[in-house]
Structure 1
Amino acid sequence: MSRRTDTLTTLERHLERCAISIKPAVKREGVDAWFPYYAGYSPGFVREALTGLGAQPGWSVLDPWNGAGTTTAVADALGCDAVGLDINPVAALVAAARLERSANTSHSAGLANQLLAVASRNEIDLADDDPLLEWFSPRVTRRYRSIEGAVLDLLGTRDGVKVNLQTETPPPFAAFFILCLVRAAKHFARMKGNSNPTWITPEKRGDTRTETFDRAFLSMVAACAADAEKAALGRSSTRSTVSVVSLADARALSLEASSIDAVVTSPPYCTRIDYFRATAFELAALGIGADGERFRALRSSAMGTNLMRTTTPDVSAQPSAVRQLLKCIQQHPSKASDTYYYKHYSQYFDDARLSVAEIGRVLKPNATALLVVQSSYYKDIHVPLGDLYAALGEELGFRARVVLRVPVRRVLATINPRARHHETERRYSEDVVALQRVA
């Protein structure tokens, strides 16, 4: 048996033996609750995945769809140099905050009070088109921007220039305070009730006294600092790491070829979930309004987006399994199958192909990427996403296979009442796909 086969077989046996839950806990606690994405996986899974891959302190571990930063936080705690990339500024902010050392956050209470004092001295000219005015009264919005400005003035500058939160990820300590500010502010927002948890809209402007808002901020800083200190207890390596989180596109990684020892990630599922609508409040807090060009550009560039781009994907470049799925969708008799939905799925798999090719470029020879994906359905057509990513990997020259498959009962698709009558007929699974670069 070859060394390459040994690696995948050893990993498969390890994941089966440890029987760790892939999905995060329903009720998340500590740093995992700072921003609980619907999608993703548990910290325990990342630890076991890296253990199964033989990760050592000093490895470079990449997550090109980093989300709220589970991979980067766990890899960093193991002494690896983590690289977390995402196109959503909210996700990058959360992930960067999770990299802040507890040695700093333990002193955050005193600094938070200083930030409030600086904010009170700042005179803010509130823009008429500030996206937060859709969510809050001018009083709350002005106080929020004053505190945000104080954080960036003191902690969020590069070469004397304040970080632009719309296009850059602040350093971890600044990200920690900005995240605390966002989370504290959200308590005062008035959200519309909606059967779809990913569609967030304001019901009316939230309001409160400045003193009350400040107390909420201080309370959130204290709570998040305690979370960070508790998380630090699980750190298993004393190695000084060089981990980084930044905004980037998985289809065009700004990393050197053959520089990454392992990838643990979860690409967007093929389920038409609008992750940017789900972060509409947080994006507004960062200055990106739901009606603006920046918001639309982010949505359009996202993998799995509901928006159709003007480019035409090259379906012929896909493996036969993907082409067959696309053909079935195109020929389905339901409305818009041969137009919008065919284009949507073609666009998704084109993004997937480009991204997997980039992962192959940056992986070291014989190194492995693990992708966690979930199966789904288009009408009555099964979309076995794990098998499709394995086929895509083989087409691109990887050794590829599904190394773990776990049945899933609850999926977001079943929130649609019209889809529930199919629930007993359908079988969903969470798959871990291993893609090993051939030397």
Structure 2
Amino acid sequence: MSIEVKVPALPESVTEATVVTWHKQPGDAVERDENLVDIETDKVVLEVPAPDDGVLGEILKGEGDTVTAGEVVATLTEGGGEAKPAAAEKEAAAPEPEPAAAAPEPEPEKTTPAEAPVAADEDLAPAVRRLVAEHDLDPAKIEGSGRGGRITKEDVVRYLEGAGEGAGGAAERRPREPEPAGRRSEAPAETQSPEAPAVSAAGERPERRVPMTRLRQRIAERLVEAQQTAAMLTTFNEVNMQPVMDIRARYKERFEKTHGIKLGFMSFFVKAAVEALKRYPAVNASIDGTDIIYHGYYDIGIAVSTERGLMVPVLRNADQLSYAEIEAGITDFGKRAKEGKIGLDELTGGTFTITNGGIFGSLVSTPILNPPQSGILGMHKIQERPMAVDGEVKIQPMMYLAHSYDHRIIDGREAVQFLVAIKEVLEDPARLLLEV
């Protein structure tokens, strides 16, 4: 019996998604609730689980295709109890011939050269077929690294890069119409990651068009929205990080042993931000039409950088969290964001955001607001600098802080005093404990 694999319900206000990665290929045995494919919306990455045990049949939507809620993306043959042993027997019977299958030698008495590619094409995933067809490649000459010698997109891209390194690459192609100049040196944008290097000969000026992911498109929209709708300004200050560094050095081993998590800088900044927000509630407020909404809670967004783009998961009720709970929450966000497992509910509703460009080496920057929030704190690199202290020059570990704010509801005086409050409690961490 054939079962349809459908796109699950999408988040509210989201109408479309993009197929990102298939984790299974036709013929693979799957178990109920096993993740088959990742799809990306403009906010989160969702997993599509197998509805039952069985064998994956035809893939109807390849990587890069647009899908909607309820749309069928693949078929599944029901009956995992029988299908999986059969698949296992097939794999067990073919371990030795696998290397030969990746690059089969032609057998003139059985197969003509024209027939070999057809047989190989039938075992390719849709995305791989498109790439092979666009570049007029012979699948029989591409070494497959997938299960059972199957050819993956990475195998095709690697083959194309190898073909572009010497004149011999052109001889490996099928004898069809000549392709436009420069085409061989690059694979289609949908098959390459943004980090993939361009392969070009000396003197060439290659270009590569890469479609924005839905998440990147949404990030772009929100950043432009923030620039166009808010009266955004940034004020700067600097903080001596020595007191915080001394506390970390003194208690980091005991802290990790007690709580099972490392003591970082972010928990201090979250605590300092909450204390400053309590003193200056306008920074924790937002605009709704002609009204100002003052939030009586402190949901702090923590900017997390991923390969897909910037995400800002939210620490709820940060004022009620301990240092260990804050550090554990941030660590968990970082791990799940890279895996694409941050839920939509965790990305919405923040009242203030903290972003740390210092981990990438940034010395100073002007962070952009995260609408509808009215304030964002930018942390930067800790750098030793000569400072005048009590009439003497001392070398101290200093960090520049940036506070971008919406001038429509936050006056310059409040914005500056808010940042000064953060500076004061970080340079005298005992104030965080005493809340003074």
Would you tell me which structure has more helix in proportion to its own residues? 1
Normalising TM by the smaller chain, what interval?
under 0.3
Max Rg structure: 2
Would you tell me which structure has more strand in proportion to its own residues? 2
Question: Quick one: higher RCO (CA 8 Å, sep 6+), 1 or 2?
Answer: 1
What is the TM-score when the length of structure 2 is the normalising length? 0.23
